[in-house]
């Protein structure tokens, strides 16, 4: 029996300018351009193996060891596009095995909570596309593959690149210009770090796909966001990344997270992704920045209660002094502060310390 297999990993990306809203549901075309930072793969990643054989009877997908339906239109769309590209190779070179006609078995594993607002659909579909493209030996560029990943899950198109990534919404109806492009590689601004505060690993009640559809249909605030807020913010954020201007990047990131969650609340019936702990983390970050009189940290929340904090390596001590003190009770960090400073902070945020655990990127 002939059997061929390829494995790959894909990282999570967390948007700093959020994609929320589709102008075309089938092609997954967004109502606004977005920007993200791809996290390093040491912590949050998807590992996917794609296998094909003439003896497989049907396409099958296992996610975290459990068989998942492959019937969804979006996954089918991805498989069709990849098979078409493979077919073109086979037509040019008749010595190639006819993978395009064989069924696929895909096994995927996320090493972090799935469907909890930590971008599992992004890493998941990016890994699916990359694994099959590797198996099929496709020559397409990351941007070309990003258009296929986009059809699986919008945010997935940005996980084809490391570092700082823009998803350009595009103008064309066929989606051929709606793709991810690199703003800067990881090396452009390597000092940027992320800490992930896991408030809840539970599956969210409202999946991103249906949540954003409700927002587009019912929120008035959403129109203001896509017409008057995001286009300007997109240019400003890109500039702040290119200039490595952390205070501006941080402010835009926090404002955009708040703006996105405001449109969720403005949906009808309202969608709540942030919980009380998330709100305390927001207050904590503002308090830390005020405390140092310097922008040390920026928070952002995807469609879930879990926080992603962006900060620069050189500020790590400043941020962690509080995080460790509040969450893990690690001794030694206290010495960096006066007694008054510590008691001021403890009084304000004592209540949240048992509510969160965190990963570091
Ligand atoms: P998240 O905030 O985690 O991205 P979404 O609601 O956007 O949540 O998407 C979650 C869905 O993405 C899952 O229910 C599953 O269908 C899909 N998904 C997650 N991980 C993978 C994966 N590794 N391979 C294929 N599909 C995945
Ligand atoms: C809040 O990409 O998960 O994380 O395209 O329907 O699969 P679908 O949605 P998805 O939505 C992501 C929303 C977000 C913001 C972002 O990642 O830009
Ligand atoms: Co998602």
pLDDT of residue 23: 98
Which ligand places an atom closest to the C-alpha of 158? 2
Q: Which of 82, 130, 118, 121 is nearest to 103 (CA)?
A: 82
Band of residue 17 on the pLDDT scale cut at 50, 70, 90:
very high
Cβ atoms of residues 230 and 17 within 8 Å? yes
pLDDT score for 330: 44
35-39, 82-86, 237-241, 329-333: least confidently modelled range: 329-333
Please state, in angstroms and rounded to a whole number, the distance separating the CA atoms of residues 101 and 158. 29
pLDDT band for position 357 (cuts 50, 70, 90) = low
Pocket of ligand 2 (CB under 6 A): 15, 18-20, 28, 34, 119, 121, 153-155, 208-209, 302-303
The whole-number pLDDT of residue 166 equals 98
Neighbours of 92 (CB within 10 A): 8
CA quadruple 251, 257, 258, 260: dihedral positive or negative?
positive
Task: Output the ligand 1 site: residues, CB below 6 A.
Answer: 46, 63, 108, 110, 114-122, 124, 128, 153, 207-208, 302-304
Distance 119 CA to ligand 3 centre (A): 5
pLDDT at 323: 78
Q: What is the mean pLDDT of residues 55-62?
A: 96
Mean of pLDDT values over 267-281: 94
Please tell me the residue having the least CA distance from ligand 1 atom 8. 115
Number of H helices, E strands in the chain: 10, 15
Q: Which residue's CA is minimally distant from atom 6 of ligand 2?
A: 209
Which ligand has the minimum distance to the alpha carbon of residue 15?
Answer: 2
Mean pLDDT (whole number) for 82-90 = 98
pLDDT band with cut points at 50, 70 and 90 for residue 43: confident
Give the pLDDT score at 198. 86
Q: Which atom of ligand 2 is nearest to the CA of 156?
A: 2
Q: State pTM to two decimals.
A: 0.93
Q: Whose CA is nearest to atom 2 of ligand 1?
A: 117
Q: Would you say residue 123 has pLDDT above 60?
A: yes
User: By 3-state DSSP, what share of the chain in percent is helix, strand and coil, each rounded to 5?
Assistant: 45, 20, 30
Ligand 1 atom nearest residue 109's Cα = 23
Ligand 2 atom at shortest distance from the alpha carbon of 13: 17
Per-residue pLDDT of 158-197, as tens digits, reads 999 999 999 999 999 999 999 999 999 999 999 999 988 8
Size (the chain), residues: 361
Residue closest via CA to ligand 2's atom 14 equals 302
Atom of ligand 1 at shortest distance to CA of 302?
2
The atom of ligand 1 lying closest to the CA of 113 is 3
Look at ligand 1, atom 22, and give the residue with the nearest C-alpha. Answer: 124
User: Does an H or E element contain 79, and which?
Assistant: helix 73-92
Name which residue sits closest to atom 15 of ligand 1, judged by CA.
Answer: 121
Distance 29 CA to ligand 3 centre (A): 15
């Amino acid at each position: 029996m002939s059997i061929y297999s390829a494995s790959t990993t894909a990282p999570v990306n967390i948007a700093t300018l959020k994609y929320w809203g589709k102008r075309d549901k089938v092609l997954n075309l967004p109502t606004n351009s977005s920007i993200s930072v791809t996290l390093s793969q040491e912590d949050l990643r998807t590992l996917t193996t794609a296998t094909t054989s003439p003896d497989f009877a049907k396409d099958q997908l296992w996610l975290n060891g459990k068989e998942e339906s492959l019937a969804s239109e979006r996954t089918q769309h991805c498989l069709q596009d990849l098979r078409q590209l493979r077919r073109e190779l086979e037509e040019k070179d008749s010595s190639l095995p006819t993978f395009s006609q064989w069924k696929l078995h895909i096994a995927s594993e996320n090493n972090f909570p799935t469907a909890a607002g930590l971008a599992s659909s992004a890493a998941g579909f990016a890994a699916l596309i990359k694994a099959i493209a590797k198996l099929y030996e496709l020559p397409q560029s990351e941007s070309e593959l990003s258009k296929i990943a986009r059809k699986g899950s919008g945010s997935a198109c940005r996980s084809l690149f490391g570092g700082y990534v823009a998803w350009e919404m595009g103008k064309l109806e066929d989606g051929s210009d709606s793709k991810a492009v690199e703003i800067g590689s990881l090396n452009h601004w390597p000092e940027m770090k992320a800490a992930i505060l896991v408030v809840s690993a539970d599956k969210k009640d409202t999946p991103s796909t249906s949540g954003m559809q409700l927002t587009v249909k019912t929120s008035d605030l959403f129109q203001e966001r896509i017409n008057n807020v995001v286009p300007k913010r997109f240019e400003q954020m890109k500039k702040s990344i290119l200039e490595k201007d952390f205070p501006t990047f941080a402010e835009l990131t926090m404002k955009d997270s708040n703006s996105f969650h405001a449109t969720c609340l403005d949906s009808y019936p309202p969608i709540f992704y942030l919980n009380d702990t998330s709100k305390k983390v927001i207050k904590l970050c503002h308090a830390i920045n005020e405390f140092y009189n310097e922008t040390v940290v920026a928070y952002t929340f995807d469609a879930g209660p879990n926080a992603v904090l962006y900060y620069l390596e050189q500020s790590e001590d400043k941020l962690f002094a509080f995080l460790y003190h509040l969450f893990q009770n690690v001794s030694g960090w206290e010495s960096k502060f006066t007694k008054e400073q510590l008691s001021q902070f403890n009084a304000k945020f004592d209540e949240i310390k048992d509510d969160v655990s965190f990963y570091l990127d």
